[in-house]
Amino acid sequence: MEKWWEKTEFISAKVVTSQPLIIFLFTPTIYLMKPAKPGTSTSSVTHARKGLFSTHSSRADHFTESTIREMTRLSLMYDAINLAQGFPDFSCPVELKAAACNAVNDDFNQYAITWGAQDLREALARKVKKYNKMTFNPDTEITVTCGSTEAMMASMLAVIQPGDEVVVPEPFYENYGPDAQISGAVPRFVPLLDDFSIDEEAWKSAFTNKTRAIILNSPNNPTGKVFSKKELMFIAELCSDYNVIAITDEIYEHILYDGKKHISLGSLDGMQDRTITIGSFSKTYSVTGWRVGYALSDAPITERIRKIHDFLTVGSPAPLQHACIAALMLPETYYQELATMYDRKRKILFKGLRQAGFSCQLPEGAYYIFTDISEFGMTDSDFARFLVKKTGVAAVPGSSFYHNGGQTRIRFTFSKKDETLMEACQRLGHLNLP
């Protein structure tokens, strides 16, 4: 006799293939109501699930697990020092912790206005005017998001039509690939030169009448490049000539070395109306887990970003938005000390990597060193796995930052305590690389 669970699964599988929309809504209920019987085979459940999965969107088919997070997993498995994922292993400023506790105690625990708490938007408008030299109306031109990750996704969904081309300098922060895929953009990757400066001819030939946007990240992850005013002016001219929107990821804007200055592309003549400037509290204030970022753009674009943002996330965590106001009130010295601290860390890791035999250059900004491993005779993935197992130091294979290539590179972060970095350098020193 047919068993009840066989019947259920048969129905599920059958309906899945003939009525995908309906079963998408009802199948979970069927599974919840009829849990698997202990000791029974799950093969027919799998069969039914296969039917269910075959009706799912193909949008995520080409996504792989984020290599950076995979390296974090391996790092935990081998009890390694995680120089893969760019988050600090030290505390955020005490002022921020106190402000977050106060915000919870003061009952900022319900939804904030979907595009961000008014006080935070006003504080951001003041900060951006002073630091980035741009003027935005907090009521109509600023959207607070769940980190810059959401700001980038919401911005791309707001301005890109499926099939539009988006110019992305390569190597690039790994999220931009999936962002392009989700928004339907066709990425046009433009390689940076060996010293990570821009190749003007390559940029010129990347722009076509299908180009809708560019994504520019400066200071740059993974290269540490800080784009110069001359390079930004060249990019701005191309954007104007081809009527293209610039989406800039400026998350490392305060982490700069050797007198380098951060210039927002949107602050250049004629660029503010065609630029979406993205920022975040994650790196500047060592609060990557808080998920507070923002997108700045003129009112018509902001209106679209806000609609997408509303349906993606409703809003960024309300008490932490309030705590971020305290972050924006920190004195100028905070930013100087931040840059000095990271300069010290950059030098510790750079020295350790060079002594261990890595080829690398000092970054100009952000908190990564992008090494060249071509002499070691291993691909980036093999080398990263070898490194985490053999020395207990996790790094990211370079190919995560290329659509095709990067096998000769490995990225290390130095967003860690000095003692963590020193211990990592000591471990790397035992490698005896050629």
Ligand X SMILES: Cc1ncc(COP(=O)(O)O)c(C=O)c1O
Q: Is 264 in the site for ligand X (CB under 6 A)?
A: no
Candidates 15, 190, 247, 251; binder of ligand X (CB under 6 A) is 251
Peptide bond into 219 cis (omega under 30): yes
Element (H, E) at 412: strand 409-413
Which amino acid is located at 246 in the chain? A
At 298, list the tokens: 């003129």
Let me know: does 12 contact 27? Beta carbons within 8 Å. yes
CB 266 within 8 A of CB 155: no
Pick between residue 183 and residue 217 the one whose CB is nearest to ligand X. Answer: 217
Between residue 72 and residue 101, which ones bind ligand X under the rule CB under 6 A?
A: 86
As measured in angstroms, the least distance from the Cβ of 281 to ligand X is: 7
Residue 409 amino acid letter = R
Distance CA 348, CA 270 (A): 41
Q: How many CA atoms lie within 13 A of 13 on its CB side?
A: 13
Q: Tell me which of 223, 282, 400, 420 binds ligand X, using CB under 6 A.
A: 282
CB 395 within 8 A of CB 67: no
Nearer to ligand X, 165 or 179 (CB): 179
Angle between helices 380-390 and 67-77 (to 10 degrees): 20
Query: What's the min distance (Å) between Cβ of 30 and ligand X?
Result: 37
Name the one range near ligand X by CB under 6 A: 144-152, 195-203, 260-268, 423-431: 144-152
Which CB, 159 or 168, lies closer to ligand X? 168
Q: Does residue 293 bind ligand X (CB under 6 A)?
A: yes
Q: Is 12 in the site for ligand X (CB under 6 A)?
A: no
272 is a site residue for ligand X (CB under 6 A): no
Nearer to ligand X, 114 or 288 (CB): 288
Which one among 148, 264, 275, 302 touches ligand X, defined by CB under 6 A? 148
# binding residues, ligand X (CB under 6 A): 13
Shortest distance, position 365 Cβ to ligand X, whole Å: 11
Q: Does 288 bind ligand X (CB under 6 A)?
A: yes
Sequence-ordered list of residues with C-beta below 8 angstroms from that of 112, at least 6 positions apart, any chain: 144, 315, 316, 318, 321
Q: What does 288-302 look like in DSSP terms, one character per residue? A: TTT--EEEE--HHHH
- Closer residue to ligand X (CB): 67 or 391: 67
Q: Which residues bind ligand X (CB under 6 A)?
A: 86, 147-149, 173, 217, 221, 249, 251, 280, 282, 288, 293
